[in-house]
Amino acid sequence: MKLVSVKILGDHFRSLSANKLYEFNHATSDGKKLSTKIFAGLNGSGKSNFLELFSEIFYFLEVCHLDTVTPSERANKGIGFEIEYLLPKLKEDLSLIFATDIKDTLEEYIKSNLPLTKYTKAEFEKQYYSQIDEIENNEIEKLGVTFLKENYIHVRIVKYLDAEAIYTIISQDGSDTPRQLRDKTRHVLPTKIIAYTSGQNELLSNSYHKIKYHYFRTFEDKKKIGEGEELADNHRLFFLDYSTNFSIFIANVLLADKKKTAILKGILKLNDLQAFRITINTDELYKKVIPVNEKLANNLKRLKLCATSWIEKKVGENKLLILDYLINQASKDAFEFHFTNAFNLFKVFYELEIFNLYLVEKKTRDLMLHVHKSYNFSDEMSKPDPSRLIFRIEKIFIRKNVGNSEPFKNIYYKALSDGEHQFNEVIGTVLMMEQEGCLFLIDEPDTHFNPKWGAKLISMLNQMAAVDYDDKGNIEKVRKQEIIISTHSPFVISDSSSENVYRFTKSNSIIEYTNPKEQTYGASISVILDEIFEKGETISVMAKKELDEMLDNVRDIEELRKIIERLNSKFGDSVEKFDLFSKIKSKKDEIENKK
């Protein structure tokens, strides 16, 4: 997945200008590093507006592919855009994307070469099926030459105001005109769009909160979920918040790649997951869900089979199913047998958590489906009493080293710091999302990270996305996913090449961005502070002011000696301090020459 460009049609979006083409670097790499775009700049420079825009666009496109959406909603006059991106696909995927075109080609060929008058029905069918595979393979081969480059297709989606979106696949070698898709458009959207914010950007979460209500309505309107189909199977948009933190952690510790999980646990100084509990209000769930969804009932059965113990009992007015898990190798084996991988388990948790929306009044749910994109959705979201939730994960115990020299102790997972929770959420999500073609929109993930973690962020993301290594353990190949990160961290920028770093500025309410003139990969913090954040100094304002004023009105050598003593006793080492020593020497020479 690589974003190429975006243009807003119609009104401005936040501070982003309409009818202006915003382009991004999408050069293919050697495949050893994740495709990462770094949006950096001062507060208010507009870098997060792009994350909100991408979320709004893909929210709209996802909604348009839901059964419950009307044609008028697909032609939403409140949004217009053009977006282009590269999406990883294999040659065999083209038969699915261009299915209608290939079918028409086959039928035309067969009708012209196998006239019905010449054969009996049996002979016709024999001739038909003997040639169909060869014709289809030839057609896919031609499409591959035209539309595939390094196993990527180039997708362009245009949505004019008051019109439905138009999906086009663009020839990457210039040998053919763009081909518009008549159907199968869902297959050219990113596999998943996953968003995260450190908590300061509530507008980013709007699209993801709204899509939950759409997903919920889709489930409500279906008489029966298809055999083997889960509500969350085809969900494309996910937002990481407090409710998903527990699910991500448990799913990864139980079922993610063991080597990668060990890296994550090592940084967080965790030994392992010890125990957790799942509580389900079966009065609500069975009454509203189970009769129409055999798959969900089977998921509950699988959760029971993995549990150390479970019980159904009456608590107050509610009947609760309580499942307790003591984690050992046997329980991990059980989860692996029933759920296979971390994302499969996470999807079950995610689906059950969506049913908590039953606690929101229907009129409120319907209202939330049509709120304007500028509306702060989270202000109106109800926050029910946790004891009333249909589904909740609780009592998570972990073993953690709480001090450098202390042994591991059993503590609640909730006792981890904000930074530890955020680190698990950001890194753990990339670890869990193994499908190629995912787009991650991560807003200021380093807000609660210490500098040591900030310096490791890009490296950790690449380790979590790695799929192949050389004999020395170095990454040879990573997944074809893209991560867009807005940040103020010089360490994150220093691990990114300048062509993938975008420096944002805002003047007269207009947002602009440029790539840094200097190479940022491996650049020192002082260089990045100067280049990106307009701060040439490497120390704080108060200390800098005091250093600048030290030589004012100095008249003799004794005063210089006192300044040197003060510098050595009060100020830590810095470039500015050493510069002042040079100025002191020059001042000393000047005073002595006057004698």
Q: What are phi and psi of 457, to 5 degrees?
A: -60, -55
Which residue do the tokens 């909604």 mark? 63
Q: Which two tokens stand for residue 110?
A: 């067969």
Task: Return d(Cα 524, Cα 397) in angstroms, integer.
Answer: 40
Q: In what order do the strands lie in the sheet with 35-41?
A: 237-240, 193-197, 439-443, 482-487, 35-41, 501-507, 510-514
Q: Are residues 237 and 133 in the same domain?
A: no
141-185 confidence digits (pLDDT tens): 888 888 888 899 999 999 999 899 999 999 876 666 788 998 889
Going by C-alpha positions, the residue among 201, 157, 178 that lies closest to residue 4 is 157
Stretch among 379-383, 426-430, 463-467 having the lowest mean pLDDT = 379-383
Interhelix angle 418-432/342-354, rounded to 10 degrees, is 120
Closest CA to 237 of 445, 81, 441: 441
197 vs 443: CA distance, rounded Å? 5
Indicate if the alpha-carbon torsion angle 303, 309, 313, 316 is positive or negative: negative
Identify whether residues 267 and 380 lie together within a single domain: yes
Q: Euclidean distance between the first and final Cα of the chain, in Å?
A: 72
Identify the domain containing residue 107 by its residue range: 2-30+68-189
Mean pLDDT score, 110-116? 58
Q: Residue 479 above 90 pLDDT?
A: yes
Specify the number of domains making up the chain.
3
Q: Do 173 and 233 fall within a single domain? A: no
Contact between residue 518 and residue 531 where contact means Cβ atoms under 8 Å apart: yes
Count of CB atoms situated within 10 Å of the CB of 240:
23
| Residue 362 lies inside a defined structural domain of this protein | yes
Q: Are strands 466-469 and 475-478 parallel, antiparallel or unpaired?
A: antiparallel
What is the model's pLDDT at position 119? 56
* pLDDT for the residue numbered 591: 82
> Which of the four pLDDT bands, split at 50, 70 and 90, describes residue 113?
low
250 and 326 housed in the same domain: yes
Q: What is the DSSP letter of 522?
A: T
Specify whether 290 is located in the same domain as 178.
no
- The answer to whether residue 76 is domain-embedded is yes
Residue 148: partners with Cβ closer than 8 Å, 6 or more residues away: 89, 91, 94, 172
pLDDT band at 436 (very low <50, low <70, confident <90, very high): very high
**Residue 176 main-chain phi, psi, to 5 deg:** -145, 155
In this structure, the answer to whether residues 422 and 294 fall within a common structural domain is yes
Q: In this structure, what DSSP letter does residue 516 have?
A: -
Residues 347 and 424 in one domain: yes
**Residues 37-56: what's their mean pLDDT?**
93
Output the pLDDT for position 189: 96
Q: Which of 163, 189, 215 delimits the end of a domain?
A: 189
Q: At what angle do helices 329-339 and 342-354 cross, to 10 degrees?
A: 80
Query: pLDDT tier at 224 (50, 70, 90 boundaries)?
Result: very low
- Are 248 and 183 in a shared domain? no
- Residue 45, pLDDT above cutoff 70: yes
For residue 112, the model assigns a pLDDT of: 62
Q: In terms of domains, do 125 and 257 share one?
A: no
